[in-house]
Amino acid sequence: MGGGGKLVIKSDGKAKRAFCYIVDATIGFLKILLEGKNGEAYNVSNNQGIISIIDLAKLLESMYPEKSLNVIIENENKSYRQLIDSLSNYYVDTKKLEKLNWKPNYTIKEGFKRCIDYFNSKK
């Protein structure tokens, strides 16, 4: 992300997702591989990391004020987007994975910070 960057949202931004940091997801996959029941389906997600797209954009904007990020909402085809957005709150039940003593260790803010800082260090 360079200075004066745009975070363009192509909806109303109300859709919610459960973001899971890759380290937490990888540990979850390994738990399932090593301790899960054969033939069972498990969901890997961080349900403490549920956030709307607009709130995520605002969080990223606040985390990197020196980047002068600008959140822009472009909700062009409103009737279509409203239908899609109304169906867009998507998160899964992780109780079976939690029974294997798995839980996410990184908050949404920590996960995004680690990821962004890593990519910035590779420039």
For residue range 40-75, list pLDDT tens digits in order. 999 999 988 899 989 999 999 999 888 888 888 887
pTM attached to this predicted model: 0.79
Is 6-121 assigned to CATH 1.50.10.20?
no
Question: For helices 108-121 and 53-63, what crossing angle results, to 10°?
Answer: 50
pLDDT tens digits, 1-38: 445 688 888 878 888 889 999 999 999 999 999 999 99
Looking at residue 1, its pLDDT comes to 41
From the number of C-beta atoms within 10 Å of its C-beta (0-12, 13-18, 19+), residue 16 rates as middle
Residue 113 has pLDDT above 60, yes or no: yes
